[in-house]
Amino acid sequence: MINLLVVGTIAYDSIETPFGKVEDVLGGSALHFTNAASFFADVGIVATVGRDFDLAAIGFLSERSVDIKGISIDEGRTFRWEGRYGYDLNQAVTLKTELNVIEQFKPKVPDEYLGADFIFLANIDPELQSHVIDQLKRPATVVLDTMNFWIENKFSALIEVIKRVDMLVVNESELREITKEYSLVKGAKKIMELGPTCIVVKRGEYGVLMASQDELFLAPAYPLEEVFDPTGAGDTFAGGFMGYLANVGSVSQDTIKQAIVMGSVMASFNVEDFGINRIKRLEYNEIRERYKAFKKCLHFGDIEFR
């Protein structure tokens, strides 16, 4: 039974960083998300690809209880993105974007997915995100992501769909652009006035900030010796985050904090290779060991004052 649904993109990415260059590697928001979430939950993925896409290349997902019947194969070419990073890996320079089949994409959620309790609306047109919500039966938790393109070109539609979700997961520049607030705390409070009860702010190498009505929570990024490619790290974080919540079947303050750490763990693996390659070959025992190491980094004991 599918208990986690993601709607987003599958792409071929061409990426250049100071540490290497690749062409036409698998990527896209829905694929990065699913690659991580599938370690924790049964995932249904809704996306579109072109006739040029090799479905066998994602056959490994079937071994992790991923249902791909929601992927439509449409006339045309698969979405493609080309970008370059300098030594500041928080900033990508987009060199080329080919929307291709994405231009005609109108997501249809299969009947088997309609009862999913956890829904992640990855980075697509906010009007399509609302269209997905219209199809759902009784989702327990709906989480939304977006990007600067939609903030700048579909702002009204974005605000309307934000009003319909439980959580917003965005990076810090996106939160500032939506709210016109430099302070992330003030910005999170503005978003919560619209309806969401929890805001998760991705801050790249500086970690994650979570704000709810009752508290704030900070988690650092896991310290790594080598970083090759940050592409998809935010979507991989979301996959670990949502996958963990779907696994435990609870959305409390404590489980959200645990899910943030798990998302950070998964994102730390993602950046160790290009595209989805590192998460594709990841083993459960590696996740457990890094989670333990991360927890040890965060523990500093009580302080006694005299």
Query: Which of helix, strand or coil describes residue 147?
Result: coil
Mean pLDDT, residues 222-248: 93
Q: Reading across the β-sheet that carries 11-17, which strands appear in turn? A: 20-27, 11-17, 80-85, 92-98
CA distance 71 to 56: 13
Which amino acid would we find at residue 275? G
**Residue 88 pLDDT grade (very low, low, confident, very high; cuts 50, 70, 90):** confident
Does the pLDDT value for residue 91 go beyond 80?
A: no
Mean pLDDT, residues 107-115: 93
Query: Which of helix, strand or coil describes residue 162?
Result: helix
pLDDT of residue 300: 76
pLDDT of residue 28: 95
Mean pLDDT, residues 95-106: 92
**Residue 122 pLDDT grade (very low, low, confident, very high; cuts 50, 70, 90):** very high
Is-contact 20 273, C-beta < 8 A?
Answer: no
Domains and CATH numbers, the chain: 4-296 (3.40.1190.20)
The CB density around residue 50, as the number of other CB atoms within 10 Å, is 18
CA distance 67 to 114: 13
How would DSSP label each residue in 54-67?
-GGGGGGGGGGTEE
Is-contact 138 118, C-beta < 8 A?
Answer: no
Q: What is the pLDDT of residues 65-77, one digit of tens each?
A: 899 999 999 999 9
pLDDT of residue 273: 94
CA distances for 178 relative to 141, 187, 259, angstroms: 22, 8, 25
Query: Which of helix, strand or coil describes residue 277?
Result: helix
| CA nearest neighbour of 144 among 81, 209, 193, 191 | 191
Mean pLDDT, residues 22-46: 96
pLDDT of residue 1: 79
